[in-house]
Structure 1
C-alpha cells in the first residue's frame, strides 16, 4: 500500500511595518553617506545664497526691508534677519529635490519593482525615503542656522517660539518630501526628476522670501500673496522674531497649505507606487 506524503505548509513571511520602515530608513541614510553630493547640495546652496545676498546685496536690500537702517553694516544686519527664515525654507526644498532624484533612481533602476515582490510592507519603501529626507533636512537646517549665527544673526524667539518653529519646519519637510517623491516617481527619467522640483525653488523668489511683497508690481504682488510659500516664510520669520508681527491667520494659512501639500503628495506618491511602471 502506497502512502502519499502530505506536504507540510511553509510559513509565509509577514511584513512588519515598523521594522520595514526602519530598514528602509537605514538604507536611505546609508545612500546619503555613499552619495554625499546630494547632501552637500542641500547645505551649500543656501550657504552660498546667505553669503552672497548678505555681503554683496545686503547693504542695498537691507535699506529696503528696514528703511531706518543705515547703509553698510546696519543694513546688512537687517537683511540677514529678513533673509535667514527664507533660507531655512529653501534648505528644506533642497532636501525635497534630493529625494525626487533618489525615488527616480530606485524606480528606473528596478529596485522598487524588486521591493514589490518581497514580503515587506509596501508603505515602508516610500516612508523610509521620506523619513530619511526629513532627517537630512533637519541636519542641513542646523548647519545653515549655525552659519547665520556666525554672521551675526540673533533671533528673538523664546522656547515656545522655537518649539512652534520646529513643528512648522518638520511639517514642511514631510509635506515637500512626499510631494517630491511623487515628482520623482512621475518623472520620465532621473534627469527630469532633478529638474521638476526646481519650480519649488523659484516660488520663494516670487513671494516674500527676498523682498517685501508690497514692493512688487500689482500682478506679481497678487501671485505672491496667494502662493503657499509666502505665508510659510512669513510664519517662520514671525516665530524667529519672537512672535512680533506674526499674524495668526497667516500662520493658519501656512499650516493649511502644508497639510494640503502633504496629503496631496502622499496620495499621488502611493498611487504612482502601486501603478505598474512601463519603461
Structure 2
C-alpha cells in the first residue's frame, strides 16, 4: 500500500500502549515528514502520547457515549497517523461531512480531497465502517426478521442511511421469515436507482424465498416515497402475488428515520 509520506501514515493497533505511538519517523525532518521532538530523535512529543493515552482511557472507561464525534474519530486516526496531532484533521473531517457516521461512509474520492487524508486514513475509516455494517448484519441474518424489527431497522440505517447515492436492496426470507439473504439489486444516482422486478422475483425463486422486504435509501435524507417508488413497489407486489411470494414491506431509509409502506397503507 502506498503511504501518505507527507503525513507519516502507517497503521498501528488502535489500543496499543501509548509508547507504540512514538516510533522512529518514516521520513527525515525537512523532507516533508514529522519533526522529531527535542531530546528524542524520531519520536513524537510526550504531550501527544499523553493526550492519546487519555483518550484511550476515556473510551475504555466510558465508551463512545463519553466522547464527541471528533474525539472518537481521533482514536481511529491514531492508527493511520501515529506521530502527529490528528485533532485538526478529525475536526476538519467532521466539519466537512457532518458527523462521525458520515465521515465513515463518505466516498473515497471525497475523503482524499481533504488535506491530510491519504490511503492509510481511507483504509482505517472504511475498515471501521465495514465492521459496523458486519456487526449490524450479524444481528439479523439467519434470524426471524419480523420478531426483531428494531434490529432490522438498525441494520438498514447502518448499511444505507449515509450513502450519497440511491441503493436498492432486497431481503429474502424463508417460510419462517428467517433472513436467508440480503442483496443489493442496484445502485444509482442521488435520486434514482434502476430496479427490475423480473430480476428480483427470479432471484427469489433461485433462493427459495417465500417473502421479501424491499429497502432503498433517499440520500436527500427525506424518506417520503416518490410516485416512482410507489409505482415500482406495486409492480413487484403484483408479480410476487402471482408467484406466491409475500412482500412484507418496503422501507425507505432517510436521515435517522424511515418510512414503512406497510405502515403508511401503501402496500
Q: Which has the higher contact order (CA 8 A, sep 6+)?
A: 1
Q: Name the one with the larger helix percent.
A: 1
Q: Name the one with the larger strand percent.
A: 2
TM-score, normalised by the number of residues in structure 1: 0.24
TM-score, normalised by the number of residues in structure 2: 0.25
